[in-house]
Amino acid sequence: MSSQATPSVPRKITLGLIIGWALGIFLLLPAISMLAKQPVTGLALLAASLVLLPPAIGFIQKKGNFYLSGGVKFIVVVIFLGLAAGTMDRSRLPTTEQAVRSSDAEPAAQAPTAAKSYQEVFVFKGNGAKKSEPFTITGNKFKIVYNCSGSLCQAWLKKPEGGFSFEIIMNGTGPINDESIFYKAGTYYIESNSIGTYTMSVQDYR
């Protein structure tokens, strides 16, 4: 008589099986991370995870020659979770406020960008017609603050490379105390054609 192969029985997938896998893995990860810091809590979570994971509890039941029903498994898991909660040292866990401070501290560690301001880079003083030494502007704008006490106050902003390009700094009769703003970086010099004394402060915005 020829022997016939016994057909394999398909594995039944139930809601309890899915929940066991999900909760078992969910508890397994924190259990492993807590074993070194809080051993009792970690072992309690690990035991609850092993009861929930189908392969683990199946192996334990087979070796121990016993069977746990669904209700008994639920009670055992609740006991282990209660043990884990009771032995957990919450003072060693970061609070929400500490976590927020830690995340906020990262960008705060970067050096704040200094606010731009006008900084004096050159001073030109004289009496009568005179040309200044050249000076260099690196910002996108600068101003020249002037104080002229003569009867004629005239001065122009020019470039050392020559040409007919210039801008008026001041142009008036009698004493003047004011400022002019310019909007381009580069190298310049001042040419004055004044009658009387004057002081000009060049201030780069950077």
Could you give the domains of the chain? Answer: 15-93 (no CATH), 118-205 (2.60.120.380)
Residue whose C-alpha is closest to residue 11's, from 48, 58, 72: 58
Query: If you average pLDDT over residues 175-204, what whole number do you get?
Result: 95
Q: What is the pLDDT of residues 54-81, one digit of tens each?
A: 888 888 888 888 887 878 888 988 898 8
The answer to pTM > 0.85 is: no
61 touches 68 (CB < 8 A): yes
Task: Tell me phi and psi for residue 13, to 5 degrees.
Answer: -100, 115
Question: Alpha-carbon distance 191 to 172, whole Å?
Answer: 15
The HSE-up count of residue 48 (CA atoms within 13 Å, CB side) is 27
Residue whose C-alpha is closest to residue 132's, from 140, 121, 142, 141: 121
Q: What is the pLDDT of residues 108-120, one digit of tens each?
A: 556 677 899 999 9
